[in-house]
Amino acid sequence: MIISPPFLPASGLTSGDASRPDPMMDAVDKFELAHGIYPVAFDRRWHCGVHLSPDMHGAVYAIADGEVVAYRVCQHAIGSGASNAGFVLLRHTTESGDGCRLTFYSLYMHLLPLAEYHTFGYDATGLANFLCKPTGEVPQGQVAPAVAGGNHKVRRKDIVGYLGRYQGLVYLHCEVFMMPGDFDAYFGHTQLGHAAPDTPATPDCWGHTYYMIPAGQQFYALPPGTITDAHHKHKLKGIEFKSGQTDTNTLPLVVETYFSKGTKYTNVWSVAADGSRAPLTDQPVPELDYEYDLYHRATALYNTCPSDGYEMLRFGRILSTPATLSGDACATWVQVTYASGKLGYIDINTAAIKKLSDADFPSFMGWQKLGDGNMPFGSDGLCDIDALKKIVGDAAASEQPTVSTATTEVQKADVLSSYVKGHDGVRQVLRGFICNAPSEWDSTNNETRYAKLLDDGGFYHGNDEGYNKFLTYLKEIQFWDVTGLPAGQKLWFFHPLAFIRHFRKCAWFAKDEFASIYPDSYMSADADAIREKYRKPLNFSLRKYGMLNYLRQSHFLGQGAVESGFLCSMQESSMIGNVTATAVYGTQINPISKKSEKDLGHWYGAIPSEDDPWYRSTKYSSTGHLITSSYDWRGGNCDREDAQKFRGRGFKQLTFRSNYADYWLYRAWIQQSSFTASWWSDHQYQAKHRALMTKIPAQIDNPDVVATEPGNCLDSGAWYITCLRPKVVRAIDSDSFQIPKTAAELAKEERVIENITRGINGGPIGLDKRVKYTRMIKKVLL
* Closest C-alpha to 362, from 212, 185, 558: 212
Does 339 have pLDDT greater than 80?
yes
Q: 174 and 108 in contact (C-beta within 8 Å)?
A: yes
User: pLDDT tens digits for 133-172?
Assistant: 999 999 988 999 999 999 999 999 999 999 999 988 999 9
Residues 239 and 348 in one domain: yes
How many Å separate Cα 150 from the centre of its chain? Answer: 31
Residues 315 and 343 in one domain: yes
**What is the distance between the alpha carbons of residues 494 and 366, in angstroms, rounded to a whole number?**
12
Task: Tally the domains of the chain.
Answer: 3
- What lies within 8 Å, CB to CB, of 772 at 6+ separation is none
- What is the DSSP secondary structure assignment for residue 702, as one 8-state letter? -
- What lies within 8 Å, CB to CB, of 419 at 6+ separation is 385, 388, 389, 400, 401, 426
pLDDT at 374: 85
Residues 352 and 371 in one domain: no
Does 507 have pLDDT greater than 80?
yes
Domain final position from 333, 364, 395:
364
> Facing residues of 271 across strands?
277
Residue 193 lies inside a defined structural domain of this protein: no
Q: 283 and 289 in contact (C-beta within 8 Å)?
A: no
User: pLDDT tens digits for 576-592?
Assistant: 999 999 999 999 999 99
Does 636 have pLDDT greater than 80?
yes
Residue 199 lies inside a defined structural domain of this protein: no
Residues 622 and 731 in one domain: yes
* Closest C-alpha to 650, from 771, 541, 513: 541
Residues 330 and 264 in one domain: yes
Other beta carbons within 10 angstroms of residue 310's beta carbon come to 25
Residue 374 lies inside a defined structural domain of this protein: yes
Domain final position from 364, 389, 423:
364
Range of the domain at 28: 10-188+367-503
Residues 664 and 633 in one domain: yes
Residues 751 and 614 in one domain: yes
Domain final position from 364, 386, 419:
364
How far, CA to CA in Å, does 32 sit from each of 25, 51, 497, 581, 656? 11, 6, 9, 72, 55
What's the CATH code of the domain at 693? Answer: 1.10.530
Residues 681 and 655 in one domain: yes
Residues 683 and 577 in one domain: yes
Mean pLDDT is lowest, of 44-48, 330-334, 457-461, for 457-461
As a three-state string, the secondary structure of 119-177 is HHCCCCCCECHHHCCCCCCCCCECCCCCEECCCCEECCCCEEEEECEECCEECEEEEEE
Does 405 have pLDDT greater than 80?
no
How far, CA to CA in Å, does 530 sit from each of 391, 406, 705, 720? 49, 65, 18, 22
pLDDT at 402: 47
Residue 777 lies inside a defined structural domain of this protein: yes
How far, CA to CA in Å, does 682 sit from each of 609, 641, 661, 664, 692? 32, 19, 17, 21, 9
Helix 409-421 vs helix 385-392: crossing angle, to nearest 10: 20
What is 526-538 written as a DSSP string? THHHHHHHHHHHH
Q: 72 and 160 in contact (C-beta within 8 Å)?
A: no
| Residue 547, φ and ψ in degrees, nearest 5 | -90, 70
**What is the distance between the alpha carbons of residues 24 and 38, in angstroms, rounded to a whole number?**
20
Q: 70 and 149 in contact (C-beta within 8 Å)?
A: yes
Residue 309 lies inside a defined structural domain of this protein: yes
Length of the chain in terms of residues written: 782
User: pLDDT tens digits for 224-247?
Assistant: 999 998 888 999 999 999 999 999
Residue 514 lies inside a defined structural domain of this protein: no
Residues 388 and 326 in one domain: no
Does 396 have pLDDT greater than 60?
no
User: pLDDT tens digits for 261-319?
Assistant: 999 999 999 999 988 899 999 999 999 999 999 999 999 999 999 999 999 999 999 99
Residue 257 lies inside a defined structural domain of this protein: yes
Residues 761 and 740 in one domain: yes
User: pLDDT tens digits for 669-710?
Assistant: 999 999 999 999 999 999 999 999 999 999 999 999 999 999
Residues 463 and 353 in one domain: no
Residue 654 lies inside a defined structural domain of this protein: yes
| Predicted structure pTM score | 0.94
Mean pLDDT is lowest, of 387-391, 397-401, 420-424, 575-579, for 397-401
User: pLDDT tens digits for 586-619?
Assistant: 999 999 999 999 999 999 999 999 999 999 999 9
